[in-house]
Amino acid sequence: MLDWKELKTKIDEAKAAGKKIVFTNGCFDIIHAGHIRYLRDAKALGDLLIIGLNSDKSVSKIKPGRPLNPQDQRTEVLASLEMVDYVTLFDEETPYELINLLKPDVLVKGGDWEKEDIVGSDIAKETRSLPYVKGISTTKLIEKIKKL
């Protein structure tokens, strides 16, 4: 995991080398097949895939009672995925400041987001809403576990 300053340096170097930067963000509390498909598709849109990961503080603001997995573990899991190049944390409710700092070429969210509602779409050159995998979600997994 890199802090914002380190990541900005890496991204600037990659851009100077002609690389296309893809950015996505989220909580990624319990990684499931929907996440994997989404991240694989996101990576296919460019050369480097950056994940802005909601910190524990950020997740708790937008999803009461969560996260289930602490940020250091969520970071470790994401960073181990072959399609993920860099992971960085943000404490705010949205990654707008981080997106504004990095200025990615492509901004990506899952299909449950309308393009015009994606935070940072005014900054990135291109904004994409990738197909949502029906029936697979962290919320549904949590509900299923609670029933056990």
Q: Is residue 60 part of a domain?
A: yes
| CA dihedral over 148, 133, 2, 100, signed as positive or negative | negative
* CATH code for the domain of 80: 3.40.50.620
Total domains in the fold of the chain: 1
pLDDT digits (tens, 9 = 90+) for 3-37: 999 999 999 999 999 999 999 999 999 999 999 99
**Domain limits at 79?**
4-10+23-147
Q: Is residue 18 part of a domain?
A: no
Q: Please tell me whether the overall predicted TM-score, pTM, comes out greater than 0.75 for this model.
A: yes
Residue 145's nearest CA partner among 29, 26, 36, 25 is 29
pLDDT digits (tens, 9 = 90+) for 81-99: 999 999 999 999 999 999 9
Q: Is residue 127 part of a domain?
A: yes
Q: Is residue 106 part of a domain?
A: yes
